[in-house]
Amino acid sequence: MKNTKWIALAAMALMLSACGEEETKPVSQPQEDLVENENEVEKEEVVEKEEDVEEEVIEEDAEPQYEINEANWTVKPIADAPSKVVLLTIDDAPDKKSLEMAKTLKSLNAPAIFFINGHFIDTDEEKAVLKEIHEMGFEIGNHTQTHANLKQLSEEEQRAEIMQVSDSIESIIGERPKFFRAPFGVNTDFSRALVKEQGMLLMNWTYGYDWESKYQDANALADIMVNTEFLTDGANLLMHDRLWTAAALTDIVEGLRAKGYEMVDPTTIKGVTTE
């Protein structure tokens, strides 16, 4: 049983596309059938409970409501939190469009995590942008210093990639990042251990399209992000700091809501440091 699970995870890791324009394939979800079956089971319960739960979430925001399912990187309700949710994430931030994207999300009251590369927070102007995004209430994640493929680095180089950006983030916003996502979704045993030791919650994602040439268009991207077969309860949506993604963002959020999905507040996700 354990072997089977390990093989499934290894296969999944291979199938996960990376984050960046180098990639050609959309992220697929090998456990799609499984997830969909779960969805079917959970849907009815949610409909009955939705009204009560929404009120409780506001009162009990100190208690984690969700956790990351490491088998497929979806966001899973811990108790009776609503399951018809998605997590929004913006990688390779804050390059050119992150501030605009944060303002768009804020105006839509849609929470998200911005995963930061250290090479985008070097100048005073860039630091101010990160500070502003954080002060708008968005969660800040570590996406390494230079967007390196951690598998190609020595342990000391991996440590530098991870620590340097966390140190910079802390010096700018006054706290260390609580989330980590590796460039290209490529983690190593060493980086996993270091991320955990640093109190960060590691996650990859379930789907994303904005690095594919055919979706580098706001309309095409908004359409696929909302209508993809990979949209499931708890889907972990990967987007990037890109022109077309910024332009598609309102339609993506409104389209997801029209399908009945709400956006998870990342602060309600159970982290490695929250017990």
Residues within the interface to Zn ion (CB under 5 A): 19, 91-92, 183
Give the side-chain half-sphere CA count within 13 A for 212.
15
* Run of H or E residues at 237: strand 235-240
Q: How far is the CB of 191 from Zn ion (least distance, A)?
A: 15
Q: How far is the CB of 135 from Zn ion (least distance, A)?
A: 23
Q: Tokens in use for 49?
A: 């409970």
Rounded Cα–Cα distance for residues 139 and 57 (Å): 18
Q: Cβ closer to Zn ion: 19 or 252? A: 19
Q: How far is the CB of 19 from Zn ion (least distance, A)?
A: 3
Q: How far is the CB of 254 from Zn ion (least distance, A)?
A: 25
In the bound state, the residue with its beta carbon closest to Zn ion is: 19
Q: Cβ closer to Zn ion: 92 or 139? A: 92
CA distances (Å), origin 151, targets 72, 115, 148, 155: 21, 19, 9, 9
Q: How far is the CB of 186 from Zn ion (least distance, A)?
A: 11
Contacts 24+ apart (CB under 8 A), 217-224: 217/244, 218/244, 218/245, 218/247, 218/248, 218/251, 219/248, 219/251, 221/245, 221/248, 221/252, 222/248, 222/251, 222/252, 222/255
User: Please, are residues 206 and 48 in contact by the beta-carbon 8 Å criterion?
Assistant: no
Contacts of 139 (CB under 8 A, 6+ apart): 111, 112, 113, 114, 178, 179, 266, 267
Q: Cβ closer to Zn ion: 192 or 270? A: 192
Q: How far is the CB of 234 from Zn ion (least distance, A)?
A: 21
